[in-house]
Structure 1
Amino acid sequence: MSEKLKIITTEDGSHSLYHEGLQETYHSFHGAYRESIHVFMIYGLDSWLAKNPAKYPIRIFEVGFGTGLNAWLTLVWAEQNQIPVLYHTIEPFPLEKELYSQLNYIEHDHGIWHFHKYFEALHQAPWNEGEPVSEYFNFKKDKTTLEEAQLYPSDVVFFDAFAPSKQPELWTKEILGKVTDSMRPGGLFTTYSAKGQLRRDLKELGLEVEVVPGPPGKKEMTRAWKSSKP
């Protein structure tokens, strides 16, 4: 897969990857780092924690390990807040070291540079096995597709698949139902997508859907909550 990927620099100076086969980037051109912080930290983890200030550990499921940026930022978040996180991610096409070792995330934010060693640790962690990567971050990555993945109960879902126009099979109501069924009561689903069909499907699956401000370059995104009643 590496021959179809090339490193690009987004508007905030952070790297992303361009998939030549799909003609799609892994992150927003307007800033990979800013997008991940906005969509998954601010409107994901921080939002869930505001409603559940003493409910630990936090169980997170990520669709698309990709460059590892979301997982690494979550690890940093867990260590800075001293909140235990159980993180499960899937990725059918892992990056080779020649690619992920060139990504500049650890240099992008000097305030968290001292967490740099964990970025490579996440990529080097064995597939299909769970293990602690740091004091507050337990990590499991499965080399599989969403269709085939075994899902565990989750409090927060980072739905970071390629766009519906590029990977429509991952955005069907059936697949979304598989994900939302695995969410625990009160769980949060966050994604960069603002598609109307996505919102309608999530509502039909019983979630309370919110239209919230999007990351730089995008007016809106989608966040949804599962009922707190079992």
Structure 2
Amino acid sequence: MNIELEITGDGSHTLFVPSINEHYHSTYGAITETMHVYIDAGLRACLKSTVNILEIGFGTGLNAFLSLLDAEKTARAVFYTSVERYPLPADKVKKLNYASLIQPSATNLFNKLHDCEWETAVKITPHFTLQKRKIDFSKSDEIAFNSDFDVIFFDAFAPEKQPEMWTQTIFDSIFALCNPHAIITTYCAKGIVRRMLQSAGFTVERLPGPPGKREMLRGRKESTFFP
């Protein structure tokens, strides 16, 4: 698959896939989008002292990298599971400028996120453990996980580009994987996505989006039966 490196509005890289005319991140700013949608609205909105995260789409590793840095800053234990059907080739990873822009001293940690073994839990830092799984999450009803999750980063390609990832079955499966009071965030604010999240059982709110997007979505697994 042909993948091209591009610079976004905040100076950070994204990747462009010409065959589907799709970017991995917002062209207005990859780091800015990730901080807004997944770190601020997702990870930091979870108040648990130990957090289990499930990411749908490891991609460039930017979500994982910023989560790792947040875990080290707050000394909060984060167990991060990420699924990816098509891992990036090493030559593309080495060109990404995230560490140099965010925290140059953590370049080795960014590389370790990509270089560590798949299908096993790897302790990257004292507070951050990563398990990468090379699987097709569109078959989520056939996939077993070792834990339930507190935060979901739903970061698949857009619904019109990857429709098999935006189905009621997918969101039902995610809801079943969530602990009580879990949070799911996504950059996509389409009405059909909001309705599928609600149908799965999430209480959904529209939040202001990152630059270039008016809104994003955040769902919570809420119930009067939960303590």
Shorter-chain TM-score: which interval? over 0.9
TM-score (norm 2): 0.94
Counterpart in the other structure of 1:215? 210
Task: Write the distance in 2 (CA, Å) between the matches of 1:189 and 1:180.
Answer: 9
2:32 aligned residue (31, 34, 41)? 34
Task: Write the distance in 2 (CA, Å) between the matches of 1:106 and 1:132.
Answer: 19
Counterpart in the other structure of 1:52? none
> How far is 1:56 from its partner?
2.9
CA shift digits 1:126-155 (9 cap, x unpaired): 111111011000110001111344333100
Counterpart in the other structure of 2:93? 100
Task: Write the distance in 1 (CA, Å) between the matches of 2:7 and 2:126.
Answer: 32
Task: Write the distance in 2 (CA, Å) between the matches of 1:58 and 1:129.
Answer: 18
2:144 aligned residue (127, 146, 150)? 150
Task: Write the distance in 1 (CA, Å) between the matches of 2:101 and 2:20.
Answer: 27
* Alignment of structure 1 residues 1-230 onto 2, 5 Å: 1=1, 4-49=2-47, 55-109=48-102, 112-148=103-139, 149-151=143-145, 152-227=147-222, 229-230=225-226
The gaps in structure 2 that reach 5 residues or longer are: none
**Structure 2 residue identity aligned to 1:105:** Y
> How far is 1:114 from its partner?
1.9
CA shift digits 1:58-112 (9 cap, x unpaired): 0000000000000000000000100000000011111111100000001112xx3
Partner-residue secondary structure (3-state), 1:221? strand
> How far is 1:227 from its partner?
1.3
Task: Write the distance in 2 (CA, Å) between the matches of 1:207 and 1:90.
Answer: 21
Partner-residue secondary structure (3-state), 1:189? strand
Task: Write the distance in 2 (CA, Å) between the matches of 1:5 and 1:75.
Answer: 26
TM-score (norm 1): 0.93
Task: Write the distance in 1 (CA, Å) between the matches of 2:108 and 2:188.
Answer: 31
The 10-residue stretch of structure 1 (199-208 or 29-38) with the greater mean CA deviation from structure 2: 199-208
> How far is 1:22 from its partner?
1.2
Q: How many residues align?
A: 221
> How far is 1:113 from its partner?
2.4
> How far is 1:163 from its partner?
0.3
- Counting aligned pairs with the same residue, the percent is 40
The 10-residue stretch of structure 1 (90-99 or 149-158) with the greater mean CA deviation from structure 2: 149-158
> How far is 1:21 from its partner?
1.4
**Structure 2 residue identity aligned to 1:39:** V
